[in-house]
Amino acid sequence: MDQLFLEAVPILERIEEAGFEAYFVGGSVRDYILGRPINDVDIATSATPLEVKAIFPKTADVGIEHGTVLVIMKSGTYEITTFRTESGYTDYRRPDSVQFVRSLTEDLQRRDFTMNAIAMDKSGEIIDPYNGQRDLSQKKITTVGNPHDRFSEDGLRMMRALRFVSQLDFHLDQETFNSLKKNGPILREIAVERILVEFEKLLAGDNRIKALNLLLESGLYQYLPQFAGQKGNLEKLLLLPLHQLTVTEMWAVILIYTNMKNIEASLREWKLPVKTIRSIQRILQLVKKEPTFEASTLEVFKAGQIHAVQAAKVKAIVNDRNVLEAEELMKLMHESLSLTHMSDLAVSGEDLLTWHKEKPGPWVKKYLEQILVAVLNSEIKNEKGEIKEWLNTCNLI
């Protein structure tokens, strides 16, 4: 067993000693069987949240209404969720009621895909009533039970199916895919924040092109913010080396290819964090300024290293040039700047006011920028004396 499971075995034992059942479940068991690295382990138990809290001295209520208690141990913190079923999804998002049950099989039945409905006990024995292991070996994503019913209960599962395609390089079971094609409109009912999480995981996964292709083929894209009517434009993305970009850079590329005019409004509809929106806006501004050629030293200086590199990569994609080369070049260009902050300039506004007996005004900023450009372009050294002399010869002071 993986070290992370071994560390958590004492927790399963404590719950069992108290007279209840407890198992590892969900993504960690799936990834363990696949031989993929696991990040955290989820535990499911027949004990109710109150019973779990009575067993462990240190706990926190993180999602107690859904049956989840956080158990705090020396080895780390663990989410322990009571076996439950969900019934009635009148709003297509959240179950009307969560019912705690004492049976593992019932709990596994409410899970989205067979590969995510496998449990493992403390000795490493697998409990797999829905043939998740068979689907894992065939690299197949299959819903637990009828896909139509399962997607109608919670439309987000359709996006989860596609993000797993991207993360795991799996394919969709035929019936599951057919149902995906029919149930797209249900996505309209799902909170955009939840869709965003799955869409960004899709973008970050290694098999993003395969998953994006399915997003288009199934018609699901029409029900994502801003993507309706964009099939032709989104198809262009499939030909790009997106794997060389970060997710933020991918957003910039998506906005360019889908001709989004109002960037802020589009990204707000996607519910991206304001900080990310600002980064994307900055990248797009820089790309727009010099869409085809390398940026000037002044632009690189003003953009700062991070944005200058991001913009260079996006420009390279748009111009069908080598992205890694563009990235390296821009890094070198930024490293070779003779200064990176205005405060590094050897003269200040104060100096200019002393040398040039003028009243303070917009000229100070203008002169400073002229000096900056001259220093950045190595016309003069960043030295007070030399700068003063240069200003003299230019008749500026």
When binding is defined by CB under 6 A, the residue of 67, 78, 112, 203 that contacts ligand ATP is 112
The string of DSSP letters for 25-93 reads: ETHHHHHHHHT------EEEESS-HHHHHHH-SSEEEEEGGGTEEEEEETTEEEEEEE-EEEE--TTSS
111 part of the interface to ligand ATP, by CB under 6 A: yes
When binding is defined by CB under 6 A, the residue of 2, 9, 18, 27 that contacts ligand ATP is 27
205 part of the interface to ligand ATP, by CB under 6 A: no
Stretch that binds ligand ATP, among 152-160, 222-230, 272-280, 347-355 (CB under 6 A): 152-160
Interface residues for ligand ATP in 29-88 (CB under 6 A)? Answer: 42
The 8-class DSSP code of residue 22 comes to E
Smallest separation (angstroms) from Mg ion to the CB of 94: 19
27 part of the interface to Mg ion, by CB under 5 A: yes
Burial of residue 79 (number of CB atoms within 10 Å: 0-12, 13-18, 19+): middle
Residues β-bridged to residue 80: 43, 69
Stretch that binds ligand ATP, among 108-116, 180-188, 276-284, 331-339 (CB under 6 A): 108-116
Secondary structure class of 209 (helix, strand, coil): helix
Q: Give, for 376, the enclosing helix (H) or strand (E).
A: helix 362-376
Tokens 């070996």, residue located: 137
Judged by beta carbon, residue 154 or residue 249, the one nearer ligand ATP is 154
Please give the size of the binding site for ligand ATP, defined by CB under 6 A. Answer: 9
95 part of the interface to ligand ATP, by CB under 6 A: no
176 part of the interface to ligand ATP, by CB under 6 A: no
Smallest separation (angstroms) from ligand ATP to the CB of 212: 18
200 part of the interface to ligand ATP, by CB under 6 A: no
Smallest separation (angstroms) from ligand ATP to the CB of 188: 16
Tokens 């994307």, residue located: 280
What would the two tokens of residue 202 be? 């899709």
Judged by beta carbon, residue 39 or residue 343, the one nearer Mg ion is 39
What CA–CA distances, in Å, run from 269 to 119, 145, 159, 264, 285? 38, 33, 17, 9, 20
Residues engaged in binding ligand ATP (CB under 6 A): 26-27, 42, 111-112, 116, 154, 156-157
